[in-house]
């Protein structure tokens, strides 16, 4: 590439994130005036095997300040990347991962390297004058994903899930349509109706972030919620077109001392065998299309059983943590059939994309999620990587970006609908 894509500056600062705690914002600028800006922040529920972030500790920001990671960018990463080509992502990431020798991520902070890596990717696209999705996927970047619409969250209905970060989270997944725009409308339609349903039924409303929490005492078992969701789908005429999705984050309900899941779906403690039977019943009785992290994050065998028996899309998030080594473990065990992609979860874009290639080679799906600060960029990642499904993203700013991409692609745009879902039960 020409000198226009040469990196001339790399800077970072601490910013407020949409998660309510500080994040690292990195900016990469190139010689021709292009800029890439990206944020990396922690998610709500964090898997034990995710890359380690650098935090300041102490009392300020309640220990979650990220000035140490910011200093790593400004003082250690920036001098190394200046003069490199922003359009050559693998070389940029490799240089970062070798600063000071092995284990650079643990010393610099995975939040520092991830923010810079994503910013470099965006700077490279901007410097080349092409959309981010095209920079990622080239001429093959034409697939729009099956999206979802948030329904409700909550972890304390039955006294468990103290580590869950308000999981499980429920969504409507909109797959039975001809185009993303049609799926987005259906998501808006059912989401609007659902808001009225839960206000009338439970007296609750959505918060500033579009989340809805069912407080303790309002239901005795989550099947009351699933029944209400299914009834709403049927009443609006979306039977066979919209299904249910849950990010269970089951590992956060697992209490090792008891050997049971505590407070998940109902007040009764449950063994793994209890959970396996519960999921079999759930999928038989309700229109579930996607289950994410339905068991403990190290239970490859249990996830393999569910993948084989349920015949729907089983997604690993805490199970895999966007880590190629853990994904390979899952492949070997035939655990799950889809990997949740959080590009900031592993530490660099190149490592995340390596994981995507590994998943595709072995017949796994990839479902992106923007919970690590990716924001609207998750739409470009999703299209660029030709992912069939995406967490949420049907409406709001990310939905708008998908609609913009669909319009840009015109007749080249593809929406796979039901075919995008992994598993034999469609």
Contact by Cβ (8 Å): 415, 177 = yes
Confidence class for position 213, pLDDT limits 50, 70, 90: confident
Q: Residue 180: how many CA atoms within 13 Å on its side-chain side? A: 34
Taking residues 392-412, report their average pLDDT: 97
pTM for this predicted structure: 0.94
Q: Work out the number of other CB atoms within 10 angstroms of the CB of residue 319.
A: 31
Contact by Cβ (8 Å): 163, 296 = no
The fourth-level CATH superfamily of domain 3-129 is Enolase-like, N-terminal domain (3.30.390.10)
Residue 48 has pLDDT above 70, yes or no: no
Chain-centroid distance, C-alpha 315: 10
Confidence class for position 153, pLDDT limits 50, 70, 90: confident
Interstrand relation of 22-30 and 7-16 (parallel, antiparallel or unpaired): antiparallel
Contacts of 70 (CB under 8 A, 6+ apart): 12, 13, 14, 24, 112
Determine phi and psi for 243, rounding to 5 degrees. Answer: -125, -175
Query: How far apart (Å, rounded) are the C-alpha atoms in residues 150 and 391?
Result: 9
Domain ranges of the chain: 3-129, 137-420
Query: Residues 223-259: pLDDT tens digits?
Result: 999 999 999 999 999 999 999 999 999 999 999 999 9
Query: Residues 53-88: pLDDT tens digits?
Result: 889 999 999 998 999 999 999 999 999 999 999 999
Pair of tokens at residue 276:
């396996």
> Which of the 8 DSSP states describes residue 314?
E
Q: Residue 365: how many CA atoms within 13 Å on its side-chain side? A: 27
Contact by Cβ (8 Å): 145, 382 = yes
Query: Residues 282-299: pLDDT tens digits?
Result: 999 999 999 999 999 999
Pair of tokens at residue 118:
């994503």
Residue 36 in 3-state DSSP?
A: strand
> Which of the 8 DSSP states describes residue 170?
E
Contact by Cβ (8 Å): 65, 16 = no
pLDDT at 344 (0 to 100): 82
Residue 208 has pLDDT above 60, yes or no: no
Residue 426 has pLDDT above 60, yes or no: no
CATH 3.20.20.120 fits 137-420, yes or no: yes
pLDDT at 43 (0 to 100): 62
Taking residues 166-170, report their average pLDDT: 90
Residue 18 has pLDDT above 50, yes or no: yes
Looking at mean pLDDT, say which of 194-198, 252-256, 373-377, 399-403 comes out highest.
399-403
């Amino acid at each position: 590439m020409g000198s226009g894509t040469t990196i001339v500056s790399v800077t970072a600062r601490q910013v407020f994130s949409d998660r309510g705690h500080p994040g690292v914002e990195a900016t990469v600028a190139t010689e021709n005036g292009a800029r890439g800006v990206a944020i990396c922040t922690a998610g709500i529920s964090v898997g034990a095997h995710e890359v380690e972030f650098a935090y300041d500790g102490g009392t300020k920001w309640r220990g979650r300040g990220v000035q140490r990671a910011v200093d790593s960018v400004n003082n250690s990463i920036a001098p190394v990347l200046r003069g490199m080509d922003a359009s050559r992502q693998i070389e940029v990431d490799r240089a970062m991962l070798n600063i000071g020798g092995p284990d650079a991520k643990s010393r610099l902070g995975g939040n520092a390297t991830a923010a810079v890596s994503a910013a470099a990717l965006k700077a490279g696209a901007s410097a080349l004058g092409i959309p981010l999705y095209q920079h990622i996927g080239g001429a093959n970047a034409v697939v729009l994903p099956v999206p979802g619409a948030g329904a409700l969250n909550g972890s304390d209905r039955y006294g468990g899930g103290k580590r869950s970060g308000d999981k499980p989270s429920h969504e409507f997944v909109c797959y039975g349509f001809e185009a993303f725009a049609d799926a987005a409308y259906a998501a808006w339609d059912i989401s609007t109706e659902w808001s009225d349903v839960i206000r009338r039924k439970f007296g609750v409303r959505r918060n500033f972030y579009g989340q809805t929490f069912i407080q303790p005492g309002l239901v005795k078992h989550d099947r009351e919620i699933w029944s209400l969701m299914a009834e709403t789908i049927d009443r609006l005429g979306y039977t066979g077109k919209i299904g249910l999705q849950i990010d269970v984050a089951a590992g956060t309900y697992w209490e090792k001392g008891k050997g049971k899941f505590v407070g998940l779906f109902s007040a009764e403690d449950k063994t793994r065998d209890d959970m396996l039977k519960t999921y079999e019943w759930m999928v038989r009785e309700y229109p579930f299309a996607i289950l994410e992290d339905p068991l403990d994050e190290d239970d490859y065998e249990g996830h393999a059983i569910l993948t084989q028996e349920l015949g729907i899309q089983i997604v690993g998030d805490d199970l895999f943590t966007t880590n190629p080594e853990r994904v390979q473990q899952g492949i070997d065990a035939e655990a799950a059939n889809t990997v949740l992609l959080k590009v900031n979860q592993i530490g660099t874009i190149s490592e995340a994309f390596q994981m995507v290639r590994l998943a595709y080679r072995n017949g796994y799906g990839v479902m992106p999620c923007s919970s690590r600060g990716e924001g609207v960029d998750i739409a470009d990642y999703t299209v660029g990587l030709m992912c069939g499904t995406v967490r949420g993203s049907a409406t709001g700013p990310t939905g708008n970006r998908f609609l913009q991409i669909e319009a840009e692609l015109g007749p080249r745009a593809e929406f796979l609908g039901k075919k995008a879902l992994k598993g034999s039960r469609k």
